[in-house]
Chains A and B, each alone.
Chain A
Amino acid sequence: MNNSMRTQLKAVNLTKEYPMGSHTVHALQTINLNIDEGTFVSIVGTSGSGKSTLLHLLGGLDKPTSGDVYLGNIRLTDTTDKELSKIRREHIGFVFQKFCLIQELNVMENILLPVLLSNKTPDYNYVHTLCDLLGLTERTSHLPYELSGGQQQRVAIARALSNDPQIILCDEPTGNLDKKTRNEVIDLLKQIHKEFRKTILIVTHDPDIAESTERIIHMEDGYLYETP
C-alpha cells in the first residue's frame, strides 16, 4: 500500500442484494459514486433506503453482490481479508451508531487499538491532542460502561482517528444520542474535518446534520440521488 497515494473513494455499478425468505431485497441498485479527498459528505435517506449498506461497502466491511469499490486505485472487492484488514486499520476509520467499543479495554486502550494492531508505536502527542480535542483527557483510564453515550461516541471518534486514516466513515453516529450531545458530536466532526482535513462520510437521517456537510447524497430504495 502506498501511503502517499491520493485517497479517493469510488463506487462503480455497485449493487447489493439480500435473500429474505423467498424474496430478494435489492438494498443497492447500480450505484456509481465518487468521493473526493478532504470532503465532508452526508448520505441521507429513510430507514431501509440502503445508506448504511453503501457506507459498509465503501468501508470494506461487507461484500457487494456486484460492482466495485475503489480506494484510490485499489479495488477493495478484489483484496484478501488480510489486505482488507490492513486498509481498515490504516486508511479508514469507522464510527458506529452503537459506539462499538471493546468493553474490556479502557478509553486509552480503545483509542490506541488500531495503531497497535498495525504494529506501530503510538504517537502519544497526537493521541493526547485528540483526547484534548474530544474532551477525554480526564477519562482515559475509564472503562466504556463508566461513560455516557456522548463520551463513548467521542471515544469511538478518537479511535477512528487514532491511526490518522484519510477517510472517516460514520454510520448514524448520533442515532443513540440526545439532541445536545448530538450537536456536540457533529461539532467535533466538523472541527476534525477542518483541523485534520479528513474525508468524512456520514450516514444520517437528520436533515440538520446533512445541511451542515459540504455534499449531500440522497438514497431511496437503493438508488442514489444527489442534491446539486
Chain B
Amino acid sequence: MNHLKLLCKLSFQYWKHHKKRFYTLMLSLVSGVTALYCAALLIRSEKQAVLDRELWLLGDYDLIIYGTDESTYSKIKEDPEILDSGVYYELGDVQSENGTRSHAAMFPDAHSEAIYHMTCMRGRYPESDLEIALDIRAAKAMGIPPYPDQTLSLTLYSNDGSILSENEYTVTGIFQATNENVVGGYLRYPTQIGIETENMPELPDIFFYRSQNSIFQSTTVTTFLQTDSSDINALKDKLIRLTNGKIQAAQTDIPSGRRYAYSYILGIQDTIQQTYGDNSLSSILHALDNGDVIKDFYSGVLMPIFTFLVSVIVILSIIGITKDIAGDKLENYAILRSLGLTKKHLALYILCDFTTVAFLCMIIGLIVGFLLHILMITILNHTYDLKLQYGFLCSQYVHAVTVPPLFSTVFTIILCVEISLLILLLGFIRETPIQMFNNPLKHRKPSHGAVKLPKGWKSLLVSKINLHNFSILIITMIVMSAAVFGYTYFHALADRNNSEAEYEKQTYGLEHWDYIAEKTDQAYMYTFNIENHHDYGICMDKYLELQNQPFIQSSFGEIANRSTRITVPRDSVDHAWLEAFDEYNLRAYEHADRLDDYETALSDAENAMIHEIGYDDDELIYSMPTVGLFDHDLDMLNSYIVAGGIHIPELQSGYEVLLAMSESDWNTFSEFFHVGDSLALSDIILTADEEQLDFGNFLPASVADPVYKQMITTPEGDEVELTSFAFGKRFDIPVTIGGILVLDEPAVRQYMVFPDHNDHGINIFCSCQAFTAWGLPDHNLTKLCIQSDPSYPLEQMDIYWYQMLSDSEGISTHSTTEIILQMNQGTQKIMAVYYSMLVLLMVIAIIAITIHLYTDIRIRSIQFSILRASGMSIQQIAYLILQQNVFYPVIGILVSMAPVELCQSFFQYIREHVDQGTWYQPFGPTPWYYDVPFRYNLFQYHLPMIMTITFIIYLLIILAITLAQIHYLSKQSIIAEIEASNF
C-alpha cells in the first residue's frame, strides 16, 4: 500500500465515521450549487420569454408573401436561401350575428402556427372542427367577451363573397393581432405594401381548424419565410422571378420579424447596421460569433451580484464547517507532519480531500438545481400564467446574452471551495507539528477587560461570553439587504416596464375606473353640432342592472348631448359678450361687416340652413353641450357650487339646469349668467330617417334637396356651386339657471365635463330625467364607468362586462383587465425573478447560519456544561443565547436601509445628468442607464412594510434556530462534555 492509498483511506475513514460533518458540508455546497444553477436557468427562462414576446409582436419570419397559391408556395420553399417556412390559408370572410365581418384563415400544420408565432394570449388555437381562435378586438366587435369557451354563430363566405355555411363555433383561444395604438390597427401591419395599394392584404382575425377548409375550398395562401440572407430585397426579387410573376412585389412584405427580435434580445438593435452594414440575420450571427452582444440587466448586473452574494455565503459556511472538520483532523495532520509529510504535501492532501467532496456535492447540487428549476417554472406558469420556458431549452441567441448556468456554477463553487480552503490552511499550515497538536484553530485567547466587580450574571456573561459570529452577521446583512433593496428595486423596475401600460390606462381615463363604455359611433355633423343615432349608447336598464350587482363598488353614467345650444338676439348683447362667446359661435360665416361676394354667399348659404332649421337671421347661436347626470352624482357636486344651489326635483323636471365651468371661465362669464335667469336653450330634432344617416360618409345631395344653391367665384377665381342642406328642426327648451358650479378638479372634469369642453367652456349639467321631460330623444347613456369590487375575480368581471354590453350598439369599451393583466404579468415576471432568487438566497443563508450556530454551540458546549455544572439553568442559558442572537436581525435590518439609500442617491445622480443633457448621445448603443429605473423613488415601495416583514421573518428564523440550539444543549450530558474536553 503506497502512501496515497493510505491517505485516501484516512479521508474515507474520517467521512465514514463523521457522517454528520459530511452531510453538513454537503448541505452547504449542494444548496450553493442549487441556488446558482437554478438562478442562472431562471434568467435564461426570463430572457427566452422576452424573445418570445418580441417574436409574438413581429413574427418568427423575415419575409411574408400574401395571397399566393399552394403551387407557388411549394416552389418558393425549395429555394436554398429559404431556411424554413410556414403558411396559412386565406379562407374568406365570416360574419357574426351582429353583422361584424372578419377575415378568416387556418394553419395547415402546427409548424406553420409556430413560425407565424402569434401566441394566444388566452387559450389555444383550434384543434377540432367547430373550434376557432379569435382576435381580441374582433371578439369585442362581435359582442362576445374575449375569453375562451364562448360560442359564436358565424356565417361563412367564400373569397368571392358567396355564403357557404352557417355554424356555431366555440372560441378556444384569443390572440391579439390588432391594437388601437398601432398603425393600421394591426400589430403586424404590412409596412412595405402601403395603404393606397389595391392589393392591400386583409390580415386574419379569426383562425379555423384546418378541416374547415373543406367548406371554404380555398387554395389562396399567405406564406412566411425564414432566411439568413443578408439582402432580403434581392431574395424577394429572385422569388418573384422564380415564380414567373405569380407573386408580385405588392403582395410581398419584409417585416422587422426575426432580425429585430434577435438583435433586440442581443442588445444590438441600434448598432448592428453601423457595425456590420446591414441588420440581416447573417450580420446578427456574425455579431454572435464575434461576441459583440450586450448582456441584459439580469445577466450583466443581477447575476454577478447574486453570484457574489451566494459566494460570500458559501465561503463563510464552508470556512465554518471545514474549520470544525479540520479541528477534528488536526491531530492526524500533526501526526502526519511529525512523521515527515511536508507542509506542501499536507496542503495538497487537504485540498484534494475537500475538493473531491466538493465535486461530489456539485453533481448532486446540479441535479437538485435542475429539478428545482423544472418545479419552479411549472409553479410560476401554473400560478401566474407567465409562459416561461425551461432555461435549458432556450435558443442560441438567449445563450449568447445570458450567463452559462453550468459553467458559471461549477466555476464559482470550485473557486469558493478553494478560497475557503486557503483561508483555512493559512490558520494552521505554518504551525509546527507540536503546535498543531495544541489545535491552533480552536484556541481563542480571551482579552482582558477592565476589572470591575460584576453586578449580576446577565451583565457579566453577556459582556464576557461573546457568542457573536462575524460570518452570521455578514450573511444576515446580505440577506436582509437583498430582501429590502431587491423588493424596492424590482418594483421600480416593474413600474418602469409598465409605464406604457400606465399611460394607456390614463389615456382611456381608467386610472379612476375599471371599465368605461362610451358612445363613439354616433354620426356628428361638425358644422352645426348636429348628432344622430340616439338609439346607440347604453340602455338605461343596463345601468339599473349594474346597481344591483354586489360586485360593483361604484358606477357613473351620463347622457351627453353635444347638440344643445343657446341663442341670444344680436341686438341684446354688447361687445364684451361677443368677445367672451366668440369661440363657441356655431355660425361659422356670421360677420358684422361683409367684405366680399364670396363671404356673403357663404353667409347666405349658412343663413338658409339655419332658417330652415328654425333659427332667425339676427340670432346668435352658441354651442353649449348638456350633460345629464344621476341624482347622487348631482348631489356630489354641492361642494363646487358658487351661486344658487342643486335642487334635484327642479333638475329632474327639467325646469332648472346648472352651469359648470372652470375658475378662469367663471371670471369671464360671471357677468353674463345669474341664478334665476332663464336660458334660451334649444336642440335640433331629427326625423327617423335622418337619425339613421351616416353623417361621416355623407353625400347630402343623395338624400335631400339643398336649401341654398348658387354658383360662386372663389378667391382663387374658380367657379363652383355652393350648396347648403338643412337637417332637423329647432326644438326650444325653456330652462332656468338653478346654480353655477366652478369645477377645476381634473379628476371630476375628466369624466363629468363634455369631452370637447374639457379644458374650457360652459357645460350645462342637468338630470338624466330632464331629457325625457324636455321631449328630447337622449334616453341612452353615452358614458358608463364602473369600478368593481377588488376581491371579485378580474376575469369574471371582464366576462360579465362584455356580456352585459353585447347588444349595445355604437359604443367602444375599455377594460382595465387587459391592461392590469398585462401590467400584473410584467410585474409578476419581474417579481418572480426577485422572489425566486431571494428564496434561493434565503435557503442557503438559513443553511449557512444554522451550520454556524450549530458549530458555535457545539464548540462551546463544554463551556455551557461548566456553566450548567456551576448551577446555570437551561432557562438562563436560553436567555444568554437568545439575547445575543437577536442582535443579528436588529443589525441586519438597520444595515438593509443603506443600499436603498445609496441606490436612490445614484438614481438622483443619473437623473441630474440626463435632465441636464450632459450624458446625451445622439448615436451609438443604448446607454446603460436605460436599464435602470432611475426615474422612480425606491422609498415609495412600501419600505417600512417590507422592512418589518423582513425583520419578523428573519427574527422567527433566528428564534427557531435558537430553540434548536437550546434543545441541543439541554440534551447534552454535562459530565460527558466535561470529560470529553481537552483543557
Contacts and interface: CB of A to CB of B under 8 A. Distances in A.
Interface string A99-111: 1111111101100
B3 interface: no
Contact of A104 (B454, B465, B870, B871): B465
Contact of B875 (A61, A82, A101, A118): A82
Given A61-B974, A113-B457, A116-B460, A85 B872 contact: yes
B975 A62 contact: yes
Interface string B854-875: 0000000001001111111111
Contacts of B866: 100-102
A201 B465 CA distance: 31
B445 A88 contact: no
B873 A114 contact: no
Contacts of B872: 85, 89, 117
B871 A118 contact: yes
Interface in A132-182: 140-141, 143, 145, 159, 163
A180 B189 CA distance: 104
Q: Which of B445, B449, B457, B875 has the most CB of A within 10 A?
A: B457
B454 A116 contact: yes
A119 B449 CA distance: 23
B197 interface: no
A99 B448 contact: no
Interface of A: 56, 61-62, 81-82, 85-90, 94, 96, 98-106, 108-109, 112-114, 116-119, 122, 124, 140-141, 143, 145, 159, 163
Contacts of A101: 866
A61 B869 CA distance: 7
A69 to B, nearest CB: 14
Interface string B831-844: 00000000000000
A89 B974 CA distance: 14
Contact of B460 (A98, A99, A109): A109
A90 B445 contact: no
A56 B975 contact: yes
A94 B466 CA distance: 25
A87 B868 CA distance: 11
Nearest to B447: A143
A205 B868 CA distance: 26
The 3 closest A-B pairs by CB, nearest first: A89-B871, A85-B873, A116-B457
20 contacts: A61-B869, A61-B975, A81-B970, A85-B874, A88-B868, A102-B464, A102-B863, A104-B446, A105-B464, A106-B448, A108-B451, A108-B453, A109-B464, A116-B457, A117-B457, A117-B867, A117-B872, A119-B456, A140-B451, A141-B448
Nearest to B877: A85
Given A100-B978, A105-B464, A86 B869 contact: no
B17 to A, nearest CB: 14
B448 A114 contact: no
Contact of B456 (A86, A108, A116): A116
B335 to A, nearest CB: 23
B876 interface: yes
Contact of A62 (B446, B456, B867, B973): B973
B648 to A, nearest CB: 76
Nearest to A59: B869
B981 interface: yes
A117 to B, nearest CB: 5
A94 B869 contact: yes
Contact of B876 (A87, A117, A124, A140): A117
Contacts of B874: 81-82, 85
Q: Which of A90, A98, A100, A114 has the most CB of B within 10 A?
A: A100
Contacts of A96: 869, 978
B407 interface: no
Contact of B448 (A86, A98, A119, A143): A143
Contacts of A114: 870-871
Contacts of A141: 448, 451
Given A81-B874, A82-B873, A105-B464, 14 more contacts: A61-B974, A85-B874, A86-B873, A87-B871, A88-B870, A89-B872, A96-B869, A99-B983, A102-B464, A103-B445, A108-B451, A108-B453, A109-B454, A113-B457
Interface in B765-816: none
Interface of B: 445-446, 448-449, 451, 453-454, 456-457, 460, 464-466, 863, 866-876, 970, 973-975, 978, 981, 983
Contacts of B869: 61, 88, 94, 96, 100
A218 to B, nearest CB: 22
Q: Which of A82, A87, A117, A159 has the most CB of B within 10 A?
A: A117
A163 B870 CA distance: 10
A143 B446 contact: yes
Contacts of A163: 871
A105 B460 contact: yes
Nearest to B465: A104
A164 B707 CA distance: 126
A226 to B, nearest CB: 24
A136 B111 CA distance: 92
A145 B983 CA distance: 10
A89 to B, nearest CB: 2
Nearest to A57: B975
Nearest to A118: B871
A141 B870 CA distance: 20
Contacts of B981: 98, 100
B444 to A, nearest CB: 8
Nearest to B456: A116
Contacts of B454: 109, 112, 116
A195 to B, nearest CB: 23
Contacts of B448: 106, 141, 143
A112 B455 CA distance: 10
Nearest to A87: B871
A105 B460 CA distance: 9
Q: Which of B460, B874, B973, B975 has the most CB of A within 10 A?
A: B975
Contact of B867 (A81, A98, A102, A143): A102
Contacts of B875: 82
Nearest to A101: B866
A200 to B, nearest CB: 17
A119 B867 CA distance: 15
Nearest to A176: B983
A7 B931 CA distance: 79
A89 B867 CA distance: 10
Nearest to A127: B453
Given A62-B975, A98-B978, A105-B460, A81 B873 contact: yes
Contacts of A143: 446, 448
Contacts of A99: 983
Q: Which of A86, A104, A118, A140 has the most CB of B within 10 A?
A: A104
Q: Which of B448, B466, B970 has the most CB of A within 10 A?
A: B448
Contacts of B457: 113, 116-117, 119
Nearest to B869: A94
Contacts of A90: 871
A55 B464 CA distance: 30
Contact of B871 (A85, A98, A109): A85
A116 B466 CA distance: 18
Given A85-B871, A113-B457, A104 B464 contact: yes
A109 B975 CA distance: 22
A124 B870 CA distance: 19
B471 to A, nearest CB: 20
Given A88-B871, A89-B870, A106 B983 contact: no
B974 to A, nearest CB: 5
A106 B465 CA distance: 12
Contacts of A94: 869-870
Contacts of B451: 106, 108, 140-141
Nearest to B464: A104
A45 to B, nearest CB: 17
A119 B869 CA distance: 16
Contacts of A86: 871, 873
A113 B870 contact: yes
